[in-house]
Amino acid sequence: MKRPKRVTIAEMGPRDGLQNEPAIVATATKIAFIDLLSESGLPIIEATSFVSPKAIPQLADGSEVYAAIAKRPGIRYPVLVPNMRGYERARAVDVREIAVFTAASERFTERNIRMSIAESIATFREVVRNAKADGLRVRGYVSTAFGSPFGDEVRPQKVVEVAVALLDLGCDELSIGDTIGVGVPSQVEELVPLLADRIPLEQLAMHFHDTRGTALANVYAALGCGISIFDSSCGGLGGCPYAPGATGNLGTEDLLYLLASMGIETGVDLQRVRAASRFIARELGHALTSKAFTAMEAHDALLSG
């Protein structure tokens, strides 16, 4: 399998990132943050979610955020939707792409969305049917694909089964998530070919968290299996409030550094992603975890100091 020459990056910072911040970020700050990200050439920016505000108070202002961001032509701005209530809220602000989400772990799904995996698929059937009828694009997430925070075993066959169920509902793209950042490259090399037997490679994205420092190694393994879409989060923002210890999506800067240095195109301007990270770090009042971002900031400070 040849590595792809071009990779599509889906930016998760405004959603997977900000939902995990203990402080609630002001609506105007979220809008400015997304607008900065849009200037970088990132082709997909997950803007917010339309989940229960009791579950995720950090993103309760999804409607205001989505309505106000500058939607650049050619950029996709998916939003997370858990049920028909969320779908209706998304439609009210004319969202063009939604993302539905379930997991390969029963216990995680129960905690995260209070449904069994089968119930979640049944819920999404109606959501996706409506979305397709309305001409929207749909992303589907399979979380905890490499392990569950609650100790139940996640078998690769289960990941494939859930992913195929989402594909059969009509999802255009599937993102396979290592929600708690436990996966290693040998698991990626086992799972991706099993997925690719049933799902076209160009519809498969990988979503790694860097909790244990394995995210870039997993990206490298996935590239070797022909994956060309990766989710990441600027500055390494993120996690999942229902996955204890799931700090840190793979940093977009780390991913960009690796890809650019390997001669793989993304069309994304690293300096502009850094500007967005710098902005949100200042607003959040704490340092970000992306190694490449941290190193480049330190390097620039040295040169200018």
Q: What is the CA radius of gyration of the chain?
A: 18
166 vs 223 by CB, closer to ligand COA: 166
16 vs 253 by CB, closer to Zn ion: 16
Q: Which does 218 bind (CB under 5 to 8 A by kind): ligand COA, Zn ion, none?
A: none
Count of residues engaged in binding Zn ion, rule: CB under 5 A = 1
- Selected from 112, 175, 266, 289, the binder of ligand COA by CB under 6 A is 112
Q: Stretches 13-21, 69-77, 90-98, 122-130: which one binds Zn ion (CB under 5 A)?
A: 13-21
101 vs 297 by CB, closer to Zn ion: 101
- Token pair 């609630």 is found at 24
Q: At what angle do helices 270-284 and 291-304 cross, to 10 degrees?
A: 90
CA dist 104 → 19, 157, 159 (Å):
21, 9, 5
Which residue among the candidates 171, 225, 234, 240 is catalytic per the annotation? 240
- Selected from 31, 56, 221, 222, the binder of ligand COA by CB under 6 A is 56
Q: Is 234 a catalytic residue?
A: no
CA dist 197 → 125, 157, 201 (Å):
23, 12, 9
- Residue 94 CB, shortest distance to Zn ion, in Å, is 26
Task: Name, in order, each residue with C-beta under 8 angstroms of 188's C-beta and a sequence gap of 6 or more.
Answer: 206, 218, 221, 222, 225
52 vs 130 by CB, closer to ligand COA: 52
- Selected from 83, 144, 233, 289, the binder of ligand COA by CB under 6 A is 83
CA dist 206 → 117, 196, 226, 284 (Å):
20, 12, 11, 27
CA dist 278 → 272, 273, 285 (Å):
10, 9, 10
Count of residues engaged in binding ligand COA, rule: CB under 6 A = 20
Can you give the binding site for Zn ion, defined by CB under 5 A? Answer: 16
For ligand COA, the binding residues (CB under 6 A) are 19, 49-56, 82-83, 85-86, 89, 101, 112-114, 240, 242
Where in the sequence numbering do the catalytic residues fall? 240
